[in-house]
Amino acid sequence: MSSLTRTELAGLKPEHFLWEVKDRVAVLRLNRPDRKNPLTFESYAELRDTFRALVYATDVDVVVFAANGGNFCSGGDVHDIIGPLVGMDMKDLLAFTRMTGDLVKAMIGCGKPIISAVDGICVGAGAIIAMASDLRLATPEAKCAFLFTRVGLAGCDMGACAMLPRIIGQGRAAELLYTGRVMSAEEGAAWGFWNGVHPAEVLEAEALKLATRIASGPVFAHGITKTQLNQEWNMGLEQAIEAEAQAQAICMQTRDFERAYHAFVAKEKPVFQGD
């Protein structure tokens, strides 16, 4: 692979969040626990750029977006973001809202499965980050709210009106987006927003267990699965079936497919290597 399309991110040292890579699983957490981990202009941009770089990362197969200090993310910082936005003109406001949307686009397009492990507060842009993840785990104390209407804004922020109904259904999404109320962990699990609910003391361990399981699989094929899950939103059934035929033919050229065949014949468990 050309050095132009290859990068290693295990040694990344971000300014605005914590980052650790072990066994090809990256654990990312916001690092302002005293404020329930709000986002700033700078952390938005650094997160966006990191997820964009993950497309080319050769040493990360799965990302866990974890809580810190008992909370996940309290959304945009009132003093560092909300205050300055009040004084901006339309051009600057649109630049900001496009940047926040670019974070979601980068998460969707990074080619790596993302697992959010949510404890405590998960509101505003924090709820969007959880929504934009591929899989979501929570604690019983998780409080998730798309609270944009509570600050005088529309519920259609960062793709919420497109993505949330696909996860929990149109009526449920409409209620949350119109009212800005908290979705309890029990509701979120019943509605399919959370893939699992675990006590706080084991939440991250469960997320890492799931991440490790995914990372031990055919990770090139996982990237194809992520792509198809997102691209097929806008396809008719015939287009989707054809796209999956092409995607599967690509995966059949990988060594992991061959390894699985030989392991099956030998009655052994396949050991995938991601190529």
Domain ranges of the chain: 3-215, 219-265
Cα separation, 17 vs 130, in Å, equals 16
Superfamily per CATH, domain 3-215: 2-enoyl-CoA Hydratase; Chain A, domain 1 (3.90.226.10)
Mean pLDDT across the chain: 95
pLDDT at 230: 93
Confidence band for 2, pLDDT divided at 50, 70 and 90: low
Cα separation, 43 vs 98, in Å, equals 15
User: For residue range 205-226, what is the model confidence (pLDDT) as tens digits?
Assistant: 999 999 999 999 999 999 999 9
Using an 8 Å Cβ cutoff, are 5 and 15 in contact? no
Identify each DSSP E strand in 75-231 by its residue range: 114-118, 121-123, 135-138, 143-145, 182-183, 196-197
Confidence band for 35, pLDDT divided at 50, 70 and 90: very high
User: For residue range 129-144, what is the model confidence (pLDDT) as tens digits?
Assistant: 999 999 999 999 999 9
User: For residue range 76-86, what is the model confidence (pLDDT) as tens digits?
Assistant: 888 888 889 88
pLDDT at 34: 95
How large a percentage of the chain has pLDDT more than 90? 91
pLDDT at 79: 83
pTM metric for this prediction:
0.94
Query: Has residue 1 got a pLDDT over 50?
Result: no
Residue 152 is classified by DSSP as: T
User: For residue range 151-173, what is the model confidence (pLDDT) as tens digits?
Assistant: 899 999 999 999 999 999 999 99
Using an 8 Å Cβ cutoff, are 156 and 147 in contact? no
